[in-house]
Amino acid sequence: MRKRILVTGGAGFLGSHLCAKLIDAKHDVLCVDNFYTGSKDNVRGLLKCSRFELMRHDITFPLYVEVDEIYNMACPASPIHYQYDPVQTTKTSVHGSINILGLAKRVRAKILQASTSEVYGDPEVHPQDETYWGRVNPIGPRSCYDEGKRCAETLFFDYRRQHSLSIKVARIFNTYGPRMQLNDGRVVSNFIVQALTGRPITIYGDGKQTRSFCYVDDLVDGLVRLMDTSDEITGPINLGNPFEFTMMELAETIIELTASRSSIEFKALPADDPKQRKPDISRARDTLAWHPSIELRDGLSRTIEYFDTLLCTEGLSVT
Ligand code: NAD
Ligand code: UDP
Ligand code: UDP
């Protein structure tokens, strides 16, 4: 069935892949973005499609449109970007969610929240499953993001309890792939761009901290599957790739795949940086019949190809 779908933050990394998938599935897509970290370039290929519409709007202000489904993706996700204007980050998660939930309530739309593994903070439970309540510092530099996202989850569940909204909460773990910004600041894009330009690979701390990275196509598939579940399925539901590795291993793999001569440079570990992270995806497997299918080296190769082309266009590549 053809649906009218709103994607907030649709010009960002994940949002733009999601918009493309929804357009491919023949839906009408309204992409709303304030271009804080996203860009028109990310959705340029979709602009020629008459079922795609792009609107510049900041979701911390009310929005009146008519839609059937909403993916609330708006929020900067890279630590350097969400810490640049922390008050705006919290506003986006809290005021933004209230506005978009108010909209969903008025038009009775199904609404999905792009939550995050950061709600688990620096976890004492490993791997993290959805029953774990997390260990988040409420007053640190990451709190604007973590607590904003936690409050957004609260709002989603209260709109369900109070107004019977059909909600879906996805806890997204680290995701990577083409269309991350060159200056995104997250580890995969940093390491790839450094490797391709021959600059030192910057490892924060001793590089023994772990993460588990999911390729964007797998992740977006999980989001759409979650949206398509029946009303009683609300989540929260972890979406991510359980394959865990250290940041040192990631650096070594990227150096090998790019045949780079970059050296490794150690820098200070940012405050409250989680030491380990790995999703337990049993719930996603059982409820959505979903699991990631793209292996790290394969996903990294596709991402390297993307950045290589981008850097060549800008005359910056050396490998
Ligand atoms: P991104 O920064 O590339 O995209 C976020 C988009 O939201 C950008 O286009 C930005 O301009 C837009 N935006 C920010 N504030 C806005 C506002 N107030 N009004 C309208 N638009 C606004 O990040 P991403 O990686 O694509 O993340 C998308 C969503 O997924 C975010 O909510 C993020 O918290 C969540 N998430 C992402 C990851 C990941 O690894 N990529 C992990 C966990 C959660
Ligand atoms: N809102 C919006 N678009 C709509 C409906 C509501 O942006 O189509 C905003 C509106 O600004 C409101 C918020 O969502 O403040 C919450 O709406 P809700 O109906 O839940 O609460 P109330 O209007 O009572 O504050
Ligand atoms: N990191 C790093 N070098 C970089 C960027 C990040 O070593 O140039 C580390 C960072 O300290 C963290 C991990 O890589 O331990 C993942 O960082 P990212 O910002 O991608 O995501 P998050 O910390 O939000 O999981």
Report domain extents, the chain: 4-176+215-239
Which tokens hold the place of 240? 């991510």
Q: What CA–CA distance (Å, rounded) separates 119 from 279?
A: 12
Rounded to an integer, what distance in angstroms lies between the CA atom of residue 176 and that of residue 167?
Answer: 25
Q: Which ligand approaches the C-alpha of residue 204 most closely?
A: 3
Q: Active site includes 159?
A: no
Please state, rounded to an integer, the average pLDDT across all residues of the chain.
Answer: 96
Torsion of CA 241, 225, 52, 159, to 10 degrees: -100
- Nearest ligand atom owner, CA of 81: 1
**Ligand 3 atom 3 nearest Cα:** 203
Query: Ligand 3: does its nearest atom lie under 6 Å from the Cβ of 273?
Result: yes
pLDDT in tens, 49-95: 999 999 999 999 999 999 999 999 999 999 999 999 999 999 999 99
pLDDT of residue 314: 78
Q: Are 319 and 198 in contact (CB under 8 A)?
A: yes
Q: Whole-prediction pTM value?
A: 0.97
Domain with residues 4-176+215-239, CATH architecture: 3-Layer(aba) Sandwich (3.40)
Q: What crossing angle do the helices spanning 13-24 and 216-227 adopt, rounded to 10°?
A: 60
Which atom from ligand 3 is nearest to the alpha carbon of 203?
7
26 — pLDDT class (breaks 50, 70, 90): very high
- Ligand 3 mean position, distance from CA 186 (Å): 6
